[in-house]
Amino acid sequence: MSPASKWGFIKKGLLVGIFTVSMYCVPVLAETQGTVTGTNVNLRTSNSIESEVYSQLNTGDSVSIVELRGDYYLINHDNKELFISKDFVTVNALSGKINASAVNIRKYPSTNHEVLSQADAGESFSVIGKSGEWINIMYGTESAFVHRDFISIPSSFELKEVVVEEPVIADDNIGMVNPVALSEEFYAQVNSSDGLKLREFPSIESNIVNVFANGTTVDILADCGDWMHVSLDGQEGYMSREFVAIKEGKRPENFIESPGNKIINYARKFLGTPYVWGGTNLNKGVDCSGFVYSVMKDFGITLNRSSRQQYQNGYTVSKANLNVGDLVFFDTDRGGYISHVGIYIGGGQFIHSSSSKRTWGVTISSLSEAYYTNTYYGAVRIL
């Protein structure tokens, strides 16, 4: 941008409410808070109107929501897990959990704007809403933004767009990409411990076509300001300029095994380990989530323990865009909720600990098998 550029403002979206709740059984974060809106509202021992009434709550009472099961919230009350009808609870405080290291917290929803601070995996923030691909959080006493790829939000809550007066540099070429060609004496290297997404176009809303590990070197086709147009092994795309280092000289070959392949090669070592409910010992016995939890733990990745809770880790991806290392989830109980998890290994297959008599223990199965096609729930990316 030229020195003569001047400041302008862009308004994005309209706040129509912080969130709405879906009807399905989907895990939410333990920090989610609600307020009772009725008198003598029953707390039940299961999510059924026919179940036993444990006690009652009244208007204004606070509840800590664990997850949504059908028409009932599972809550923690008196050190017990109880159920309350969602019709009598207003959700008033939603939390999001950071899922990567050194994640930038920005003043406005754009990589062009000031970084207020950084957050590490596991840190939680109150969620206000969203602006495009950015999640609006409370950072101390002020509004701030984190890109949605790096904060886990319960999928049962649909965030609403918020009004953002975002200062932008305005000139005649605003919004245009003006690539500057670089000579072959330069190359780019990924400089992000969490890897870097290669996108089809220079926009965070564009499709992700690949994810490169930290240290991967790529050829530069053009410098497009906030984006680098790059290629590697015939695949072209755009990378955020913020997370690449420009280096001079001939590009060295990549001898880096992708994080996903490293994990799968390690996981394969435990093929045949027996299925043990509640087990986390990769050599002696594991259940489905225990297998995923223990494999990832050995690579420094901390996941929630149960399959339902593991769906909160990372961000959701479509079945058509699965990458090696993604977690795949199934509703094997046919109850409308997650009951099984495995790790995608590529080629339409996944590795998991099965409780089936036919394939007992750690095994490899195909997503195209009728059973897994019919019970497929979704997938999340954690790498």
Take residue 283 and report the two structure tokens written for it: 């050599």
User: Hey, how many other C-beta atoms are within 10 angstroms of the C-beta on 138?
Assistant: 12
Sequence-distant (6+) residues with CB within 8 A of 359 are 365
Task: Using DSSP bridges, classify how beta strands 72-77 and 19-21 pair: parallel, antiparallel or unpaired.
Answer: unpaired
Q: Please say if 340 is a catalytic residue.
A: yes
Helix (H) or strand (E) holding 81: strand 80-85
User: Coil, strand, or helix at residue 308?
Assistant: helix
Angle, helices 288-297 vs 259-267, to 10°: value is 130
Number of other residues whose CB lies within 10 A of the CB of residue 179: 14
Q: Two tokens at 117?
A: 């601070």
Residues 90 and 140 sit within 8 Å (Cβ to Cβ): no
Q: How far apart are CA 288 and CA 354, in angstroms?
A: 7
Cα-flanking dihedrals φ and ψ of residue 148, to 5°? -60, -20
Q: Which burial class, exposed, middle or buried, applies to 357 when counting CB atoms under 10 A from its CB (0-12, 13-18, 19+)?
A: exposed
Which element (helix H / strand E) includes 259? helix 259-267
Residue 117: burial class (beta carbons within 10 Å; 0-12, 13-18, 19+): exposed
The encoded tokens of residue 337 equal 């909720």
- Residue 352 known to be catalytic: yes
288 included as an active-site residue: yes
Cα separation, 151 vs 221, whole angstroms? 31
Catalytic entry in 25, 147, 229, 288: 288
Active-site annotation, residues: 288, 340, 352
